[in-house]
Amino acid sequence: MKKVKGINKASKKEKFLDIDGHKIRDSFPDLGREEKIGILRTMYRIRHFEFQTEQFIIRGMIHGTCHLYIGEEASATGAIAAIGPKDYITSTHRGHGHCIAKGANLNIMMAELLGKKTGYCKGKGGSMHIADVGAGNLGANGIVGGSIGIATGAALTCKMKKNGRIVICFFGDGAANRGNFHGALNMASIWDLPIIYLCENNVYGMSTPVKEAFNIKRISDRKYAYGIDGITIDGNDVTEVYNTISHYASLCRKGMGPVLVESLTYRYRGHSKSDAQVYRSKEEVKKWMEMDPIKRYAGRLISENLITPEDDKQIEKEVISEIAEADRFAQDSPFPDPADVEEDVYA
Amino acid sequence: MREITYLEAIREALQQKMREDDSVYLIGEDIAEYGGAFGVTVGMLEEFGKERIRNTPISEEVIIGVAAGSAMTGMRPVAEIMFSDFITIAMDDIANQAAKIRYMFGGKARVPIVIRTAGGGGTGAAGQHSQSLEALLAHIPGLKVVMPSCPYDAKGLLLASINDDNPVVFIEHKLLYKNKKYIQHVPGEMYEIPLGKGDIKRKGKDLTIVATSFMVQKSLDAAEDLKKEYNMDCEVVDLRTLRPLDIDLILKSVNKTGKLACVEEAPVFGGFMGEVASQVTEKGFDMLDAPIIRIAGRNCPVPYSLVLENEMIPGVERIKSSIKKMAGLSQGKE
Ligand SMILES: Cc1ncc(C[n+]2csc(CCOP(=O)(O)OP(=O)(O)O)c2C)c(N)n1
Ligand SMILES: [Mg+2]
């Protein structure tokens, strides 16, 4: 583990938390009321975007597959709230949440899902390839682990250009067993790259439980293999995610990256469009749903008197109408022109 | 007579071979409880157990490496690469290891592995889950490449592939798996269709269509329409195996028809049919009445949106219009 310098100089009021045995500053209270509410709004956006996507799936409007992020909202939201608009992320096949948290336009995202010309990829990519490069989202990825190298390369740019930016590389537990995970973490560690490898451990990679795919209990223990820091956090607690990523983001900016963060979470829905979920029990799903990240966070804001239960409902209502608008936009948008099929192959 | 799907034919071949030969085992992602991404191995865990239905972490290169190593030492693995696109991840283990070991070791080793994988598009899965990469594979000496177009062939070719002492890439088509339109009588017992033998799927005298996999089915539909609409009689040659290639069967057909249209799903540039066209030109130039045409994918990745995907991948209409144009039946747009 690399030494954290200067932390003792922090002001008296500052509180430190023990997260997985790491002393991490509680930076969440630094956020203003609007920012805190913004986090809640983002989580609702993700969830309702996914509800709408699910409706599209049910109605047969999605050509291709989709992987829903319902249940995992705190992970993307907390992490991305802790970095800046100029920082980069790379995402996964389960990427709608990361994309929304990075500030994507819901209308344009939804248009992409419906294969429309107005979508982020002009209908060429679909759910698994939504990218918002201008906003620093270097893309979802249909290849499990496909973004690990890309993210590491983006971190190399940040280092070489000394632009002060950092990268969050999102990937699943399943991806942590790809060979490039090893190569990338090793390379990033010898070059001290400013990158947070954020492994979203949602208990399964498709049907394969983590306990059958790993011989270690904690994926973050792989930190020892690279001589870097690593931590396992409650990925359904958005404040814990926020505090952890804030902490490591500032270390990365000081040249003390990379780090491996394991965020424990759970997907409520099946793996993709078609999944009978024979590999898990209804009780297990129910147990996780009781720890719902949005309910937990809304409860916290209410108990801190930042919002009332009515405000909470109002925020959700506003989000629902944003989604309805995105739905309208997407459905009203035109399909691409088949004559353009060979456009964009080369720069 | 029972009729089964392409998927059922593949599963039956695997089950019967595994009952007969203990050295055959399956290795791949989500092939156990889940039964494989497309359901091919459903029920096999229950019959054969975890030892022989080996569910793996997401490690394509290791799946193939492990298969190759165990094959060199007495096992006969059938590896599943969920989507043929992910074969690229395992390319060292396929191209530099499995395919070359026998030759580089002076013929002193065997690598009897089958790599089963789902290829092709038409499912809206976009650029990384829809490719037809057979040309990359067929280019590599030491590999055999098989692409069945129907249930009967799938079973016989898979059994021949498992019994073969070489690495075989067995590319299945997603749109054939469960499609009831293509169910067929398939014998209940085990049988082999020799690798390297093509098949005439439709007899005709006016023009030869050479195709593989799902494109065989589309070509057959196109041929029926051309017969009805123009009384044009196309012969449809199903390659079944790309390597070894049954060039003699193609030449025999072209000798009869004088015209050759090659149909494939992959982008036309560098596609496998370029090999077919060039061999026919070299060996049968005098038989040809017209330049060979290739009806193939556009030169771009497979796009997501249905309207674009339909444009990228040749459909029955494009096959028909291209052939009509070639035969001088219309100014059909290619
Ligand atoms: C290289 C590769 N292998 C296999 C797949 C098929 N596949 C898609 S998602 C998935 C599971 C991924 O698990 P994980 O990384 O844990 O992400 P999660 O789906 O749980 O979010 C698999 C096996 C793929 N897309 N890419
Ligand atoms: Mg997972």
CA distance B127 to chain A (A): 7
Q: Which of 218-277 (A) contact B at CB < 8 A? A: none
**Domains present along chain B, CATH in parentheses:** 3-185 (3.40.50.970), 199-326 (3.40.50.920)
B172-215 residue pLDDT tens: 999 999 999 999 999 999 999 999 999 999 999 999 999 999 99
- Residue A94 Cβ inside 6 Å of ligand 1? The answer reads yes
Q: Are A171 and A204 in contact (CB under 8 A)?
A: no
Q: Are A240 and A234 in contact (CB under 8 A)?
A: yes
Percent of chain B with pLDDT over 90: 98
Q: How many residues does chain A have?
A: 347
Residue of B nearest to A275 (CA): B34
Helix axes B6-20, B151-163, angle to 10 degrees: 30
Please indicate if any CB of chain B lies within 8 Å of the CB of A214: yes
Tokens of A266: 């759970």
> Ligand 1 centre and the CA of B1: distance in Å?
40
What is the pLDDT confidence band of residue A1, given thresholds at 50, 70 and 90?
A: very low
CA distance A127 to chain B (A): 9
Nearest to A177 among B59, B127, B311 (CB): B59
Helix (H, G, I), strand (E, B), or coil: what is residue A217? coil
- Residue A58 Cβ inside 6 Å of ligand 1? The answer reads no
Q: How far is CA B95 from the centre of its chain?
A: 18
CA distance A210 to chain B (A): 9
Percent of chain A with pLDDT over 90: 95
Q: For testing the chain B interface, which of A118, A147, A208, A210 should be mutated: the one with the most B CBs within 10 Å?
A: A208
Among residues B122, B328, B320, which one has the least CA distance to residue B226?
B320
Q: Is the pLDDT of residue A5 over 50?
A: no
Q: Which residue's alpha carbon is nearest to atom 22 within ligand 1? A: A206
Cβ separation A175–B58 shorter than 8 A: yes
Q: Which residue's alpha carbon is nearest to atom 5 within ligand 1? A: A144
For the question of whether the overall pTM of this predicted structure is more than 0.90, the answer is: yes
Amino acid at B66: V
State whether ipTM is beyond 0.90.
yes
A320-339 residue pLDDT tens: 999 999 999 999 999 999 99
- Residue A206 Cβ inside 6 Å of ligand 1? The answer reads yes
Q: Is the pLDDT of residue B330 over 70?
A: no
Average pLDDT, chain B: 97
DSSP class per residue in A294-333: HHHHHHHHHHTTSS-HHHHHHHHHHHHHHHHHHHHHHHHS
Pick the CATH number of A30-333 from 3.40.50.970, 3.40.50.920, 3.40.50.620, 3.30.70.2740: 3.40.50.970
pLDDT at B333: 45
Q: Is the pLDDT of residue B83 over 70?
A: yes
Can you give the residue ranges of every domain in chain A?
A: 30-333
Q: Is the pLDDT of residue B148 over 60?
A: yes
At a CB cut-off of 8 Å and minimum separation 6, what does A271 contact? A67, A204, A206, A207, A277
For residues A88-113, give the mean pLDDT. 98
A14-44 residue pLDDT tens: 899 999 999 999 999 999 999 999 999 999 9
Please indicate if any CB of chain B lies within 8 Å of the CB of A190: no
pLDDT at B331: 54
Ligand 1 atom nearest the C-alpha of A145 is 1
Q: How many residues does chain B have?
A: 334
Instruction: Please state, in angstroms and rounded to a whole number, the distance separating the CA atoms of residues B127 and B26.
Output: 27
Cβ separation A278–B57 shorter than 8 A: no
Cβ contacts (< 8 Å) between A125 and chain B: which residues? 126-127, 304
